[in-house]
């Protein structure tokens, strides 16, 4: 197989570890803090997790360990969408496991959680692991979205792990995947299965975080990748001076990606879903605001600009969110009837007739293309797949119509030419930045130490991430303390609470203080490509979000 020069060089890169993890692996021991509580629903969660609720936060310190040298087999699974750095989590587990005892083995379950249920796995040897170090993607073992949520599935997982003498399982995934890890850990503890479960925090969306998980891995690389592309488009529009570019960015439940990319590039407009919901902004108000910015720039002879749109925006607009909830419920209740309709036009007419009141009015006002997209196949939770709704094109159409009205009113005399983009998959498997390469390797190395310390139901935690890597802090957090109860499929389920953009936080406040200037003046920043070689201030810097949240 041929490799690019960059890939060859990345194979050589040795990720940086926190100082404590650089010690001889047999000289690292856990230090336990106080018992923990979830922030809400404590009584219910304690009832659901009687064996793993309330465990202490763990950090690591120097000492003498008599357990790390034990021979052990560990299984690892990649769950959910890809995020840059996943291969380095596996490399970190492997290197720690082999440093502790060369006879220990690491197995990878293929194709995600279904690989456990199907007993489909491979041993991850040094030759295999070395060929994926510091590379993007999840192709070392593949990923999947199968959910392990029934007692039969839990029992099957235990059976498969025992058949290979696997004593610990590392689940690399997002909030849903780590929720499953906590449930599995509880089941294994309750049934004395003798199998530990440790999680690793993954999602480019950045919505799996708290005081102990400062950032989920992949966010750094993905936002830098998108910011490069946005910067390139800004350079182009600043040169051509004739297009308004509407760019939709990944992030269904939270706008962290959009906010971070705005801070890195300074576009003319960046919409933040959480602010739209907080202010209860209507679709018309959002459209009018964008049109006013376009008109103001046009009066200065600048008929061009850039608008950033979070993927999940449409669900945060109150009247559209209400419509989507009604449509989700309608299609769930009358699924057989809806499934018998083949043509899009007939589906739209059926839905319009089945709705009433405000929701019917909103649905009728949307362009046919958007109506059809709202009726596409649902996700496993029965929700609309917002990534398939072309919100950026909806805004373009409505802004265009508003500008025509403004032209008739004499409030707009310029031109409005437009381009639309969706940046999503472009960032999920990029070569990880130095930050993500280091962070992920540390998460994996740290995960093995949690296992060797006899812990289960924890998520690997590396903090103080805005400082140089040698100052990072390693430890673990009980997954149950990050949970709450949410309504899923008609009943309350334990889930890790998603972290949304905090409108009173430093990151949003910094953005909000500057956005009016960016709207009026061309203030673009051009971040350029991710740099892997050179001074630390160029190559190893964390995101603006992480710096601001840490007070740096």
Q: Which two tokens stand for residue 119?
A: 């007993």
pLDDT tens-digit profile of 202-229?
999 999 999 999 999 999 999 999 999 9
Q: Which two tokens stand for residue 95?
A: 């290197």
Residue 200: closest CA among 364, 101, 83: 83
Percentage above 90 pLDDT, the chain: 87
Confidence of residue 342 (pLDDT cuts 50, 70, 90): confident
Nearest-angstrom CA–CA distance, 276 and 10: 41
First-residue to last-residue Cα distance in the chain: 44
Q: Where in the chain is the domain with CATH 3.40.50.460?
A: 227-428+505-531
Q: Which two tokens stand for residue 354?
A: 């089945």
pLDDT > 80? residue 387: no
Average pLDDT over residues 65-83: 95
Confidence (pLDDT) at 29: 97
Q: Which residues contact 95 (CB under 8 A, 6 or more apart)?
A: 441, 444, 445
Q: Which helix (H) or strand (E) holds 460?
A: strand 458-463
3-state class of 267 per DSSP?
coil
Residue 202: closest CA among 88, 73, 55, 74: 88
Residue 143: closest CA among 216, 77, 218: 77
Total residues belonging to the chain: 552
φ/ψ of 495, rounded to 5, equals -145, 155
Average pLDDT over residues 119-134: 98
Q: Which residues contact 285 (CB under 8 A, 6 or more apart)?
A: none
Confidence (pLDDT) at 491: 80
Confidence (pLDDT) at 233: 98
Confidence (pLDDT) at 380: 64
Q: Where on the phi/psi map is residue 149: left (φ > 0), alpha (ψ -120 to 50), or beta?
A: alpha
Confidence (pLDDT) at 118: 98
Confidence (pLDDT) at 489: 65
3-state class of 347 per DSSP?
helix
φ/ψ of 178, rounded to 5, equals -75, -25
CATH number at 227-428+505-531: 3.40.50.460
pLDDT > 70? residue 381: no
Map tokens 């296992």 to a residue.
451
Confidence (pLDDT) at 328: 86
Please, how many CA atoms are within 13 Å of residue 414, restricted to the half-sphere of its CB?
A: 21
3-state class of 253 per DSSP?
coil
pLDDT > 80? residue 488: no
3-state class of 295 per DSSP?
helix
Which architecture characterizes domain 19-218+432-488 according to CATH? 3-Layer(aba) Sandwich (3.40)
Confidence (pLDDT) at 409: 96
CA distances from 68 to 15, 381, 451 (A): 22, 40, 9
pLDDT tens-digit profile of 462-484?
999 999 999 999 999 999 999 99
Ranking 9-23, 297-311, 330-344 by mean pLDDT, the lowest is 330-344
pLDDT mean across residues, the chain: 95
Q: Which residues contact 149 (CB under 8 A, 6 or more apart)?
A: 180, 183
Average pLDDT over residues 140-157: 95
Nearest-angstrom CA–CA distance, 530 and 449: 31
* Bridge partner residues of 463 (DSSP): 473
Confidence of residue 377 (pLDDT cuts 50, 70, 90): confident
pLDDT tens-digit profile of 389-435?
899 999 999 999 999 999 999 999 999 999 999 999 999 999 999 99
Residue 270: closest CA among 510, 466, 504: 510
* Bridge partner residues of 496 (DSSP): 483
CA distances from 256 to 125, 283, 366 (A): 37, 21, 27
pLDDT tens-digit profile of 273-331?
999 999 999 999 999 999 999 999 999 999 999 999 999 999 999 999 899 889 888 88
pLDDT > 70? residue 240: yes
Q: Where in the chain is the domain with CATH 3.40.50.450?
A: 19-218+432-488
Confidence of residue 520 (pLDDT cuts 50, 70, 90): very high
Catalytic residue positions, numbered = 205
Confidence (pLDDT) at 490: 66
Confidence of residue 69 (pLDDT cuts 50, 70, 90): very high
Nearest-angstrom CA–CA distance, 291 and 414: 12
pLDDT tens-digit profile of 81-112?
999 999 999 999 999 999 999 999 999 999 99
Map tokens 């103001």 to a residue.
296
Ranking 148-152, 220-224, 513-517, 548-552 by mean pLDDT, the lowest is 548-552
Confidence (pLDDT) at 385: 76
Q: Cβ(113)–Cβ(144) under 8 Å?
A: yes
CA distances from 96 to 15, 190, 406, 535 (A): 13, 28, 64, 28
């Amino acid at each position: 197989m041929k490799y690019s020069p960059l890939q060859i060089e990345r194979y050589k890169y040795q990720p940086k570890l926190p100082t404590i993890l650089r010690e001889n692996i047999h000289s690292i021991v856990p230090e336990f803090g106080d018992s923990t509580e979830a922030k809400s629903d404590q009584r219910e969660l304690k009832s659901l997790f009687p064996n793993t609720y309330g465990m202490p936060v763990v950090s690591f310190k120097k000492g003498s360990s008599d357990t790390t040298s034990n021979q052990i087999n560990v299984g690892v699974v990649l769950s959910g969408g890809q995020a840059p750095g996943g291969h380095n989590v596996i490399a970190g587990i492997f290197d720690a496991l082999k440093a502790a005892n060369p006879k220990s083995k690491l197995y990878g379950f293929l194709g995600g959680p279904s690989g456990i249920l199907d007993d489909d796995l491979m041993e991850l040897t040094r030759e295999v692991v070395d060929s994926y170090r510091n590379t993007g993607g999840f192709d070392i073992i593949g990923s999947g979205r199968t959910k392990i949520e029934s007692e039969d599935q839990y029992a099957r997982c235990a059976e498969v792990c025992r058949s290979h003498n696997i004593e610990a399982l590392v689940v690399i995934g997002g909030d849903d995947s780590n929720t499953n890890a906590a449930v599995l850990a509880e089941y294994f503890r309750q049934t004395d299965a003798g199998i530990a479960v440790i999680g690793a925090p993954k999602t480019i969306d950045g919505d799996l975080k708290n005081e102990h998980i400062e950032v989920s891995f992949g966010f750094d690389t993905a936002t830098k990748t998108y910011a490069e592309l946005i910067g390139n488009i800004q350079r182009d529009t600043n040169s051509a001076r004739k297009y308004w570019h509407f760019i939709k960015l990944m992030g269904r439940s939270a706008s962290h990606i959009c906010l971070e990319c705005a801070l890195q590039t300074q576009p003319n407009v960046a919409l933040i879903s959480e602010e739209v919901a907080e202010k209860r902004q209507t679709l018309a108000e959002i459209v009018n605001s964008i049109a006013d910015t376009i008109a103001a720039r046009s009066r200065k002879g600048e008929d061009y600009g850039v608008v950033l749109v979070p993927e999940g925006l449409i669900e945060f607009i109150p009247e559209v969110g209400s419509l989507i909830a009604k449509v989700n419920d309608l299609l769930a209740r009358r699924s057989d009837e809806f499934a018998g309709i083949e043509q899009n036009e007939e589906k739209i007419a059926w839905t319009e007739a089945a709705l009433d009141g405000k929701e019917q009015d909103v649905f009728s006002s949307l362009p046919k293309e958007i109506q059809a997209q709202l009726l596409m196949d649902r996700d496993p939770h029965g929700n609309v797949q917002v990534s398939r709704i072309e919100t950026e094109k909806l805004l373009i159409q409505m802004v265009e119509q508003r500008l025509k009205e403004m032209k008739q009113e004499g409030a707009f005399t310029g031109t409005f030419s437009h381009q639309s983009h969706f940046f999503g998959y472009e960032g999920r498997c990029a070569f990880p930045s130095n930050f993500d390469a280091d962070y992920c390797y540390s998460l994996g190395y740290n995960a093995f130490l949690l296992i060797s310390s006899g812990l289960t139901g924890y998520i690997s935690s590396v903090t103080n991430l805005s400082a140089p890597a040698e100052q990072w802090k390693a430890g673990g957090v009980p997954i149950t303390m990050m949970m709450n109860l949410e309504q899923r499929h008609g009943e309350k389920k334990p889930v890790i609470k998603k972290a949304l953009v905090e409108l009173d936080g430093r990151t949003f406040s910094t953005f909000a203080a500057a956005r009016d200037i960016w709207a009026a003046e061309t203030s673009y920043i051009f971040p350029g490509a991710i740099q892997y070689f050179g001074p630390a201030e160029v190559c190893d810097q964390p995101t603006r979000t992480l710096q601001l949240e840490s007070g740096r």
